[in-house]
Amino acid sequence: DYMSAIQIPKNGMFFDRQRRSFTRTVAEVLDNIWRIGGERGWYKTDWLWRIRGLMDKLVGGVGLRRGRRSPNHLRAGDPLDFWRVLVADRAAKRLLLYAEMKLPGEAWLQFRIVDNPDGSHTLEQLAAYRPQGLAGRLYWYAVLPFHGIIFKGMVQNLLDYPSAAG
């Protein structure tokens, strides 16, 4: 399966990882992950995502309002606001996005569900960033405080949000 070969680089990277165990069905959580962005929003602090999208548009980027092809389905190659879907593999319980916004570096956002030995499951969200030069490093440290606000709440809300599958 070629989708499993598409991975986030490991060298020269900064990472912000969030993990939460859950008792809901995997289908319910996947349903919420696969509906992220577009009209549904990003499950936490959508106003910060909109500001980031506006900033991107001001510097010639794609901005946030590209939306998505379908409200319920994602596939590799789809635009998703200012991200591009690299991997959308429900069977492997993995969604990998690549940032197309203007950045002093490259960014990825991955959602994965891991099956635990005890039969429970864990939602993992990984924000990864490869800075370019000093500007890239300064950017990472400037946005890092917002990660605590955005990503921790996003993971919890992905688990708590009502799902069409449930």
Q: How far apart are CA 97 and CA 46, in angstroms?
A: 18
pLDDT of res. 141? 93
Model pLDDT for residues 73-87, shown as the tens digit of each residue: 999 999 988 889 999
Q: Per-residue confidence at 164, pLDDT binned at 50, 70, 90? A: low
Token pair for 105:
């570096």
Model pLDDT for residues 61-76, shown as the tens digit of each residue: 766 666 778 888 999 9
Nearest to 105 by CA among 140, 130, 137: 130
What fold characterizes domain 17-160?
Alpha-D-Glucose-1,6-Bisphosphate; Chain A, domain 4 (3.30.530)
Task: Examine the pLDDT at 22 and tell me if it is beyond 90.
Answer: yes
Secondary structure string (H, E, C) spanning 76-136: CCCEECCEEEEEEECCCCEEEEEECCCCCEEEEEEEEEEECCCCCEEEEEEEEEEECHHHH
Helix (H, G, I), strand (E, B) or coil at 18: strand
Share above pLDDT 70 across residues of the chain, in percent, rounded to a whole number? 84
Q: Which residue has the tokens 């591009």?
A: 84
Token pair for 103:
């950045």
Q: How far apart are CA 53 and CA 65, in angstroms?
A: 8
113 has which bridge partners? 123
Write out the DSSP string of 37-74: BTTTB-SS-HHHHHHHHHHHHHTTS--STT-BS-SS--
Model pLDDT for residues 95-147, shown as the tens digit of each residue: 999 998 888 999 999 999 999 999 999 999 999 999 999 999 999 999 888 88
